[in-house]
Amino acid sequence: MNKLWVFISYITIVIISFLSMNCKTEEVEPGNSDQSLLHLKTIDNLIEIIASIEGTSDTELQVRKVDELWDSLLAQKRIPWISNDTIIFLYKGSVTGVNFVGDMNGWSLVDEYRAKKIGNSSVWYLLKTFPPDARIDYKIVTNGSNWNLDSNNPKKQLSGFGFNSAFSMPEYDSSVYLVENPIIEKGILSEPIIISSSNLNMNVRLWVYLPANYENMLNLSTIYVTDGQEYKQKGMGSMIVVLDNLIYGNLIKPVIAVFVDPVNPNTNQNQRAELFLNNINYANFFENELIPYIDAHYKTNPDAQTRAILGTSYGGNNAAWFGYQIPETFKLIAAQSPAFQSNVLSLYSGTTTLGMAKFFITTGVIYDTELYANQFEEILLSKGIPYKYVKVNEGHSWGNWSALLDDILLYFFEK
């Protein structure tokens, strides 16, 4: 038995020794970029590798190392590379210049966002820092005039001009209510409704959202939404998804939403600039034609204390102006990124008869309307008007506005 044990022990030692000899990894010199690529886990690693490649004098070797780096980044799906408060934008292409343009620079070609080529390769990079909870839309501009999506970044945000590429920093917190839940009861959106307006001398298109189980309800609050064609669209405002989720979750009272389109259905011309900047005819249309129509055809509560108006950008100007011009029509006012391209601020400052019940303001702080919104907050505070003000590290974007819809709806209609 002892001899057998000694033999087994000997055989085991031989096998272990053989495996050890054949499993040794090849020694790699410190700083070798191949070894570094195997451990490309932090943004510091990436910065070090780029610096090492740029310091390589052998042009052929430099290009090969860049290709290896690019393949590694693609495999890890880390284009752009984001960590903590830092982002490295990346682009590969045989072009003469690359700029990253978006919310972060007011959609302008500026030297500060011009990328640098890695050595003599076709890969370009740009390192920037942002607040850790920022969310940004952007595009890549090559050769000074060709605007493109970032084809290696799957994240996109729909805008009024099509899709943009987008990124968010690690601490960004979007709204969970923007995610469609396939198993819940959902409200119903009407087919387009056309109202012939004598005040505007044009047809107006709109859609009406009715909450689930509407047939069993009475005296519902209403929210009127300018730029309704975009607020209702999934991937832009996605407001119907938010309404469905909040109502199903019993977080807000059931609400009727009226999505009003500023696009003339006969000419296909978007007339928002004309309609939203203190247009008395537009106010009269709402007060004398649209609201009476909705109250007559749907089970609404006619009390203005339960009626809201919501708009973004110029539509935010419009919502605030309605609060001043027709104060007995809307008592709940929400302005997202309000572009006060009118005298709304001075009108509010100069009156003592403001009668709204609640006001909600939102704005991004990255090339958005923060200055206007700050001034407006001071006025509301001085007038003693109940309000809520939310700022986010974002730009003038539907990604910004849609993620705050739950806050607005909860503020106005919370159970």
Report the helix count and the strand count for the chain, using DSSP H and E. Answer: 14, 18
CB 229 within 8 A of CB 189: no
The residue type at 355: G
Q: Can you give the pTM of this predicted structure?
A: 0.89
Q: How far apart are the first and last CA of the chain?
A: 81
How far is CA 349 from its chain centroid? 32
Domain boundaries, the chain: 33-168, 176-413
pLDDT at 37: 54
Query: Which class for 107: exposed (0-12), middle (13-18), buried (19 or more C-beta within 10 A)?
Result: middle
Long-range contacts of 195-202 (CB under 8 A, 24+ apart): 195/289, 195/290, 195/293, 197/285, 197/289, 198/289, 199/281, 199/282, 199/284, 199/285, 199/288, 199/289, 200/275, 200/281, 200/282, 200/285, 202/264, 202/266
| Same fold for the pair 33-168 and 176-413 | no
What CATH number does the domain located at 176-413 have? 3.40.50.1820
pLDDT at 33: 41
Whole-number pLDDT of residue 19? 37
Give the Cα separation of 293 and 280 in Å (integer).
19
Give pLDDT, residue 352: 86
How many whole angstroms separate alpha carbon 160 and alpha carbon 386? Answer: 32
* Whole-number CA gyration radius for the chain: 29
pLDDT at 39: 55
Q: How far is CA 354 from CA 52, 322, 386, in A?
A: 64, 11, 11
The Cα 66–Cα 64 span in angstroms is 5
10-residue mean pLDDT profile of the chain (415 residues): values are 38 38 33 48 87 90 92 92 96 97 98 95 96 98 97 96 97 96 97 98 98 98 98 97 98 98 97 97 98 98 98 98 97 98 95 92 98 97 96 98 98 97
CATH hierarchy code of domain 33-168: 2.60.40.10
Q: Rounded CA gap, 158 and 235, in Å?
A: 6
